[in-house]
A and B are shown apart, each in its own frame.
Chain A
Amino acid sequence: MSDAERILGEVKGFLLEQFLPEEDPAALTNDIALVTSGVLDSVALVKLVAHLEETYGVELEAYEISADFLDTPAMIAGTVEGKLSERAG
């Protein structure tokens, strides 16, 4: 399993546990919109950001807390991955 897949799996697990406990995990696809569809609101977003920063040791800028960076599970994982690459690079 690649780093990207592991991050994506972990992010989806967090989303299901925290915000979608009654949801079928299969329904949470990689590209399902979460912010623009209203599933994740501002409170959920800051909780997610706090989790990502704590879990992966990355730091998100204020302008990155938006649908442009965190709308889907894939985008969330991609943002984390990008941050990790920046740090490593």
Chain B
Amino acid sequence: MTQPSTPQRADRLSGSEFAVLAVQLGVVLLLIRSYRIEQDFGLLQLLPVVFVGFVAHAWAPARHRLPLFLAISVAAFAIVLTPMQAMALIALGLGLIGICHLPIPYGARVVLLLLAGGGLAAIRVERVLLPWKTIPTIVLPVLGAMFMFRLIVYMYDLRHEKEPSSVWQRLSYFFLLPNVCFLLFPVVDYKAFRRTYYDSDAVAIYQKGIRWMFRGVVHLLMYRVVYHHLVIPSHAVGDLADVVQYATSFWLLYMRISGQFHMAIGMLCLFGFNLPETNHLYYLTSSFTDLWRRANIYWKDFMQKVFYYPMFTRLKRLGTMPAVLVATIAIFLVTWLLHSYQWFWLRGEFPVRMVDVGFWGVIGLGVVVNVWMEMRGGKRKRLGRPAFSLARATLRSFKTLAMFATMSVLWSFWSSASVGEWLDVLSSAGNSPPRDFALLALVALALAAIGVAAQYVESEGWPARISRLEPAGARGVAVVTAVGLLLAAQPGVQGRLWGPVAAVAASFGYTGPNEADEERETLGYYEDLLETQPESRIARGERPGDWVTLEETDAVVKTGDLRGIEFVPDYVGSFKQATLRTNRWGFRDREYDLEKPAGTYRIVVLGGSHAMGSGVEGEETFENLVEDRLNLEHALAPYDRVEILNFSMAGFSILQGMRLLDVKALDFEPDMVLCVIHVNEEVMVRRGLRATIGQGRDLGYVWLEDIVERSGAQRGMSVVKLEQQLEPALHRVTEGAMRTIAETARRNGIVPVALYVPLTNEDIERSTKRRHGLLRMAKHAGMITLSVHEAYLGHPWNELMVARWDSHPSPLAHRLVSDHVVSAILRERSTLGIAEQEAVSIPDTTGKEPRS
């Protein structure tokens, strides 16, 4: 097929048409900005480039548009990456394209490309070390995203190219503007890329691009709703309803991929590339072949063109049916391998997992069976809209429901860590009574009835009639939706919405992790892969190799009790690039005598990594800062001195704190035991308890052994099964640990205090409920409660985190917490039972007023 080297239908753009398009694009970009859509991928940085680029490109003479698009893309690379990284990316890319056009035989060029790919792979996994550290970790993933599949398509088409294309077309095909943000990118076909360039009216192409970008926004917002409201961690799955929610939510998370694909291809339409749809109503597929044709359509086209048809033509001497079946099986094998290949370029690893084999195996088998049936019985098609048939519509509805359920189950399988864990989660459905299964069947019947009604409506041509209202009607709906979404982004508006609607609107704008992801459980193939985006890549690229967990250092030794580990006394070493020094008693703090000096008020701190001070020097921890300031100001007079002994250890929760108090901290005769808790306290309790049971360590408390026994959790169970068994008992375990600490303390004349400290990346509005729950629990257990949850207000996350790849508190964050803790202690002095004296004013050393 031929295509114009310069656009033929590109100049039909009047001022008014342009104004309408620019306003619509502005609204879509504003939406993206308001909801910070995919901001971690650098999309917000790309927005001005897209808008200015679109304006300049639309008004540029047709013959200059391809070079201009290339220039805009290069500018975007330099903005999202750095100019040096962009230059490296372009140089490497030009090298690969150059090999494709060397004046040597085709086969030799392929061999050279394979050698070049092998060399880049060696750099990617750092077998070959370069002086520029960001090449393997930042530049190569982007280069991989641009070339790993498109180079295959390009070489295939180059072999059959009848009419050579311009150098601008060739370069534009690889250096696609949105690719720098979206590393998971649809496999754009080279021939389609050339053929569709301004193959229609320019206004219509631009309008389609804006519509698809808007559709992408909607998909990505819906994804956030699913992510924050439907996804549940595997350990929380307890019955049939949970299993349905668990499995369904995984499949619905695919909206993120379709959203990104719509956004990316929509952006390309703004520059005249009239590419086809990437995903089409994939949740309504009625068979495996239907799914294969509707979800990630570009991948299906790529597989067919480069692997399926060539394989079929080679095998057809075996007969049409065997050739088709073997070629179909082969493309699923190739699909599996290429997903690992894609993972390699984006993440630097080549995973071979049983769940991948199982996932692609089941889908492949389903498609093979469907293909076999279609080959044997044929598939009746209609050129126009088929007449409504109740029987056919009913069958299609049930097939669609079955397909949705199958894909939900399969997707949850693909996203699970192992087959065993996945089976443990699904077996929870067995905990439900038959009534629940009957209810599920009724819901399925109701959905099938809705499906039948929808097909009747479609057969009557109502959607077609509505679509005839285009452009005014559809555009009107889009405008109303867009304005509604823009309004919903305003906090003032959200506050006036009805509860559930406000919750949904709030989740549209929330970009942080959900509860399950905080535990790193729900990341499936694509979710994990999407982590390799600019911000994460930068962080990953900068993270030093010695940035390990405490357990991986020689600063700790194992114990056989709840704690699991304890510090080696008098240890001096490095942990997360800060000095880690333990005292003679084996805790990370200054030296103290076992016997409390006369006139001293002594506090012991029990907490996890935040209180221990992961990544900061010992003198920078909030505990030492509080001690210094209280002593400097003699704030607890009539006590001569305050000593705060920090027994905290990375990975510890209140559960290990309870044990630590009994075996070590009590010996130091404290006046107060300060338990530092945070929003994920119960997560840490669950992990600690699961590890103790799993490793067969001694639980050490009769009440705890009793709870564990009744929960059914046993050594030898999988991680998920253990956590599922423990989940219903978690509140009792956490409260039991708090109560035990409180009782032990009271028995020894010690004041038990629970201190809530926020995480550096915590959204304290969203965590309010969990915070209140924890503090209420502590109070109920007999502890005095303090909270410094507002300590970080007004400070951006990046200032509070110890490193971009580690959210533990920075020295500044520790100073902020220490200010608030000092204030809280003085404010609650009488409640805490510390002998009174006149109020003392403590100056703020951070130079910033804490907001409240």
Complex interface: chain B residues within 8 A of A43 (CB): 289, 324, 371, 374-375, 379
Contact of A84 with B by CB under 8 A:
no
Q: Does B383 contact A42, Cβ atoms closer than 8 Å?
A: no
Q: Does A41 contact B383, Cβ atoms closer than 8 Å?
A: no
Complex interface: chain A residues within 8 A of B324 (CB): 43, 46
In the complex, chain B residues 301-339 whose Cβ is within 8 Å of any chain A Cβ: 304-305, 308-310, 312-313, 316, 320, 323-324
Interface string of B376-392 (1 = CB under 8 A from A): 00111111100000000
Complex interface: chain B residues within 8 A of A20 (CB): 380-383
CB-CB nearest in chain A for B310: A62
Complex interface: chain B residues within 8 A of A39 (CB): 381, 383
Contact among A19, A50, A53, A62 for B381, CB-based, below 8 A = A19
Interface string of A22-35 (1 = CB under 8 A from B): 11000110001000
Contact of A4 with B by CB under 8 A:
no
Contact of B104 with A by CB under 8 A:
no
B313, B316, B323, B381 — most chain A CB neighbours (10 Å) = B381
Complex interface: chain A residues within 8 A of B156 (CB): 63
Contacts A43-B324, A43-B375 hold; do A28 and B160 have CB atoms under 8 A apart? no
The B contact surface, by secondary structure, is helix
Complex interface: chain B residues within 8 A of A21 (CB): 380
Contacts A20-B380, A42-B308, A68-B1 hold; do A47 and B375 have CB atoms under 8 A apart? yes
* Cβ of B554 to closest chain A Cβ, rounded Å: 59
CB-CB nearest in chain B for A23: B383
Q: Does B320 contact A50, Cβ atoms closer than 8 Å?
A: yes
Contact among B308, B312, B378, B383 for A18, CB-based, below 8 A = B378
Complex interface: chain B residues within 8 A of A66 (CB): 305, 309
* Cβ of A44 to closest chain B Cβ, rounded Å: 7
Interface string of B142-161 (1 = CB under 8 A from A): 00000000000000100110
The A contact surface, by secondary structure, is loop
Contact of A65 with B by CB under 8 A:
yes
Contact of B170 with A by CB under 8 A:
no
Q: Does B293 contact A50, Cβ atoms closer than 8 Å?
A: no
Complex interface: chain A residues within 8 A of B312 (CB): 46, 62, 65
Complex interface: chain B residues within 8 A of A50 (CB): 316, 320
* Cβ of B802 to closest chain A Cβ, rounded Å: 53
Interface string of A49-89 (1 = CB under 8 A from B): 01001000000111101101000000000000000000000
Contact of B191 with A by CB under 8 A:
yes
Q: Does B316 contact A32, Cβ atoms closer than 8 Å?
A: no
Report the bound CA distance from A44 to B380 in whole Å: 10
Report the bound CA distance from A50 to B378 in whole Å: 14
Report the bound CA distance from A40 to B378 in whole Å: 11
Q: Does B379 contact A62, Cβ atoms closer than 8 Å?
A: no
Complex interface: chain B residues within 8 A of A65 (CB): 309, 312-313
Q: Does B382 contact A22, Cβ atoms closer than 8 Å?
A: yes
Contact among A22, A38, A41 for B380, CB-based, below 8 A = A22
Report the bound CA distance from A27 to B381 in whole Å: 13
Report the bound CA distance from A48 to B305 in whole Å: 16
Report the bound CA distance from A27 to B289 in whole Å: 26
- On chain B, the number of residues with a Cβ less than 8 Å from chain A's Cβ atoms is 28
Complex interface: chain A residues within 8 A of B309 (CB): 46, 62-63, 65-66
Complex interface: chain B residues within 8 A of A40 (CB): 381
Q: Does B383 contact A28, Cβ atoms closer than 8 Å?
A: yes
Report the bound CA distance from A19 to B375 in whole Å: 11
Complex interface: chain B residues within 8 A of A22 (CB): 380, 382
* Cβ of B290 to closest chain A Cβ, rounded Å: 9
Report the bound CA distance from A23 to B324 in whole Å: 27
Contacts A43-B375, A47-B320 hold; do A19 and B310 have CB atoms under 8 A apart? no
* Cβ of B435 to closest chain A Cβ, rounded Å: 43
Contacts A47-B320, A68-B1 hold; do A27 and B383 have CB atoms under 8 A apart? yes
Q: Does A41 contact B378, Cβ atoms closer than 8 Å?
A: no
B309, B324, B371, B384 — most chain A CB neighbours (10 Å) = B309
CB-CB nearest in chain B for A21: B380
* Cβ of B331 to closest chain A Cβ, rounded Å: 10
* Cβ of A18 to closest chain B Cβ, rounded Å: 6
Complex interface: chain B residues within 8 A of A42 (CB): 304, 308
CB-CB nearest in chain B for A32: B383
Complex interface: chain A residues within 8 A of B381 (CB): 19-20, 23, 39-40, 44
Report the bound CA distance from A22 to B57 in whole Å: 48
Q: Does A19 contact B313, Cβ atoms closer than 8 Å?
A: no
A23, A41, A65 — most chain B CB neighbours (10 Å) = A41
Complex interface: chain A residues within 8 A of B323 (CB): 46
Q: Does A41 contact B191, Cβ atoms closer than 8 Å?
A: no
CB-CB nearest in chain A for B374: A43
CB-CB nearest in chain A for B370: A43
Complex interface: chain B residues within 8 A of A68 (CB): 1, 191
Q: Does B160 contact A63, Cβ atoms closer than 8 Å?
A: yes
Report the bound CA distance from A62 to B379 in whole Å: 23
* Cβ of A58 to closest chain B Cβ, rounded Å: 12
CB-CB nearest in chain B for A28: B383
B159, B323, B378, B383 — most chain A CB neighbours (10 Å) = B383
Complex interface: chain B residues within 8 A of A46 (CB): 309, 312, 320, 323-324
CB-CB nearest in chain B for A61: B313
Complex interface: chain A residues within 8 A of B305 (CB): 63, 66
Q: Does B313 contact A60, Cβ atoms closer than 8 Å?
A: yes
A20, A39, A47 — most chain B CB neighbours (10 Å) = A47
Report the bound CA distance from A67 to B312 in whole Å: 17
Report the bound CA distance from A46 to B709 in whole Å: 62
Report the bound CA distance from A28 to B374 in whole Å: 22
Q: Does A19 contact B379, Cβ atoms closer than 8 Å?
A: yes
* Cβ of B379 to closest chain A Cβ, rounded Å: 7
Q: Does B313 contact A41, Cβ atoms closer than 8 Å?
A: no
Complex interface: chain B residues within 8 A of A32 (CB): 383
Report the bound CA distance from A44 to B320 in whole Å: 11
Report the bound CA distance from A42 to B310 in whole Å: 13
Complex interface: chain A residues within 8 A of B379 (CB): 19, 41, 43-44
* Cβ of B675 to closest chain A Cβ, rounded Å: 63
In the complex, chain B residues 112-167 whose Cβ is within 8 Å of any chain A Cβ: 156, 159-160
Complex interface: chain A residues within 8 A of B384 (CB): 27
* Cβ of B195 to closest chain A Cβ, rounded Å: 8
Report the bound CA distance from A32 to B382 in whole Å: 12
Complex interface: chain A residues within 8 A of B378 (CB): 18-19
Contacts A43-B374, A62-B313, A68-B1 hold; do A19 and B308 have CB atoms under 8 A apart? no
Complex interface: chain B residues within 8 A of A38 (CB): 293
CB-CB nearest in chain B for A36: B276
Complex interface: chain B residues within 8 A of A18 (CB): 378
Report the bound CA distance from A62 to B371 in whole Å: 19
CB-CB nearest in chain A for B312: A46
CB-CB nearest in chain A for B306: A62
CB-CB nearest in chain B for A15: B381
Report the bound CA distance from A19 to B383 in whole Å: 10
Complex interface: chain A residues within 8 A of B375 (CB): 43, 47
* Cβ of A60 to closest chain B Cβ, rounded Å: 7
CB-CB nearest in chain B for A24: B383
Complex interface: chain B residues within 8 A of A47 (CB): 320, 375
A32, A43, A68 — most chain B CB neighbours (10 Å) = A43
CB-CB nearest in chain A for B294: A38
CB-CB nearest in chain A for B331: A42
Q: List 14 A-B contacts (CB under 8 A).
A: A19-B381, A20-B382, A20-B383, A28-B383, A38-B293, A39-B381, A43-B324, A44-B381, A46-B309, A46-B312, A61-B160, A61-B313, A62-B310, A65-B312
The 5 closest A-B pairs by CB, nearest first: A62-B310, A62-B309, A50-B320, A65-B309, A63-B160
Task: Taking A46-B324, A61-B313 as given, write out 4 further A-B residue pairs in contact, using a Cβ cutoff of 8 Å, ordered by the A residue number.
Answer: A40-B381, A41-B293, A62-B309, A65-B313
Q: Which residues of B contact A (CB under 8 A)?
A: 1, 156, 159-160, 191, 289, 293, 304-305, 308-310, 312-313, 316, 320, 323-324, 371, 374-375, 378-384
Q: Which residues of A contact B (CB under 8 A)?
A: 18-23, 27-28, 32, 38-44, 46-47, 50, 53, 60-63, 65-66, 68
